[in-house]
Amino acid sequence: MANYCTNAIAFYGELNQLEALHGHIERTMLIDPHEPRITTLLDEMNLSTKVNDTRHFIINLNPIISDKDSHHFVLLTESAWCPMTEDFDAILKQPEFSTLDYVYTAEEPGMGIYINTDTNQRFLTPKYRFFSYIDNAVVHEEYFSSLAELVKWVNSIFSVFIDPNSTINSIITQLCKAYHDTDAEFFIDEYSSIPV
């Protein structure tokens, strides 16, 4: 069985085109409400594409957000092993979506995939993921847009004081030292900033 990659795709551009794409996704979710697939979306749009892997599912569709001259919405998906953005490339190649573009985050811990293509953090802000187990329980899973924000949070939650200029490795070392008497593990993953 594949490890599933969690993706957040922020589509942005001209409002009428964004509304049309949003409508296609809504219809796809009505066609197959239990397990809406991206391949169903492509079929609903009458797109003949060569999708090699059909394990790409719609999880949630957020409403369109308009802010001054900017319009966007976020689509959450799960795909097998990696983000599978070629599906969205095929959609946006259509003339009716000529003004639209997208950025995305992808997270698949088993494969070490942490990507955020929104390099300006305009729509999608995760830059760091903090995950901890203490005494065999998932204690925290939190996301931060900066290392300073992560350090501030760690200092407010855990019984340690981390210097604001600390590196990822030194934060983990200090946490492990403070919790050496427990069965604790700490992970901090940094999202790669890859422009699309």
* C-beta neighbour count of 160 within 10 angstroms: 13
Tell me the C-alpha distance between 18 and 74, whole Å: 11
Asked if 32 and 53 count as a contact pair (C-beta separation under 8 A), the reply is no
- Position 1 scores a pLDDT of 44
pLDDT in tens, the chain (196 residues): 468 999 999 999 999 999 999 999 999 999 988 889 888 898 888 887 666 678 889 999 999 999 888 999 999 999 988 888 888 998 999 999 999 999 999 999 888 899 999 999 999 999 999 999 988 888 899 999 999 999 999 999 998 899 988 999 999 999 999 998 888 999 999 999 876 5
